[in-house]
Amino acid sequence: MQPSTDSVNYANGGSSLRKKVWPHQLVLALTLAAAAAALLFENSAIQRWLDALLLLLATAASISALACQLPLQSVLFAAFITALVGGAAHGLSARTGLPFGPLSFGNTAGPQLFNTVPWTVPLLWVIAIFNSRGVARLMLRPWRRVKTYGFLLMGLTTLLALAFDLALEPFARTKHLWLWEPTKLSLTWHGASPLSFVGWAFVALIILAFIMPYLIRKQPGNPSAPDFAPLALWLGAIILFAVSAAQSGLWAALALNIILAGVVAVFSSRGAKW
């Protein structure tokens, strides 16, 4: 019996997908290896180089994971918009105090672009937004056919990006990436006021409003298989922050990281079963 056209197309598509996924898996493996090395060589002379390599690899893995499903030019444009808006928001905050609050960048954050914002900050935004969106897609798989799916995806992505920032702030303070200046609000989370997290959520929503049209799959077809790469990168970052918190004796931050990782892992695995 001759195979059907659909079967042939599926087989060809599967072969093409495997060829496309393999480089992405390699980048992801290198990212996780760099994270392990960064933890192994903590407080050594090569620590800063390992941190920079880890950030570059994590950004490349975030982009390549999405490029397995969408045209590369669309993914790169979305990454450019994310880095531009996120970096500009941090640079504006350093100059004017808006939208996150007054802050200054440390030398460990790296050389500054246009004497305003370190090159590492825009890449952090790409990692946070892209992987938060990927995790949100996993969680929302049971609701992917509802009419309000796009709004649900934007909302959950924003919440996950906000959770990423909550875990990032103690790490940034420990690494002296940036320093929050005092404000009238006495309540802070490792120097960051509640208004900084409101600003983070607002900027994340603006970024998503710009990039979501470029991250929509234009070709019709069956839903793609669950992609766990964004989950691995998101959880990997939280674990890295948790280890840093434990080494610095920041037990509240450690507890928060454990809770965030556990909740996200459970809901992502449940959503992936659909």
> Is the residue at 227 inside a domain?
yes
C-alpha Rg value of the chain to the nearest Å = 19
b/e for 169-193, b at 16 or more Cβ within 10 A? bbbbbbbebbebeebeeeeebbbbb
pLDDT of residue 42: 63
Helix, coil or strand: residue 103? strand
CB 99 within 8 A of CB 92: yes
- pTM, full prediction: 0.87
> Is the residue at 157 inside a domain?
yes
Distance CA 203, CA 19 (A): 36
Element (H, E) at 105: strand 103-105
> Is the residue at 146 inside a domain?
yes
Q: Which two tokens stand for residue 194?
A: 């509640």
Distance CA 171, CA 176 (A): 8
pLDDT of residue 38: 65
pLDDT of residue 13: 39
| 224: CB partners within 8 A, 6+ apart | 69, 217
Helix, coil or strand: residue 192? strand
Q: Give the chain's domain count.
A: 1
Q: Which residues form the domain of 249?
A: 72-272
Distance CA 79, CA 228 (A): 19
Q: How far is CA 40 from CA 33, 43, 228, 251, in A?
A: 10, 9, 25, 21
**Terminal CA-to-CA distance of the chain, rounded, Å?**
32
> Is the residue at 29 inside a domain?
no
Q: Which two tokens stand for residue 65?
A: 């994971």
Distance CA 202, CA 88 (A): 14
> Is the residue at 126 inside a domain?
yes
CB 94 within 8 A of CB 104: yes
Query: Which three-class secondary structure string do you get for 32-86?
Result: HHHHHHHHHCCCCCCHHHHHHHHHHHHHHHHHHHHHCCCCHHHHHHHHHHHHHHH
Helix crossing, 229-247 with 251-272: angle to 10°? 170
- Chunk the chain into consecutive blocks of 10 residues (it has 274) and report each block's average pLDDT, rounded to whole numbers: 37 39 64 67 70 88 90 96 97 94 91 93 97 97 93 97 97 93 89 95 97 81 76 93 93 97 96 88
Q: Which two tokens stand for residue 85?
A: 């808006």
Distance CA 42, CA 49 (A): 11
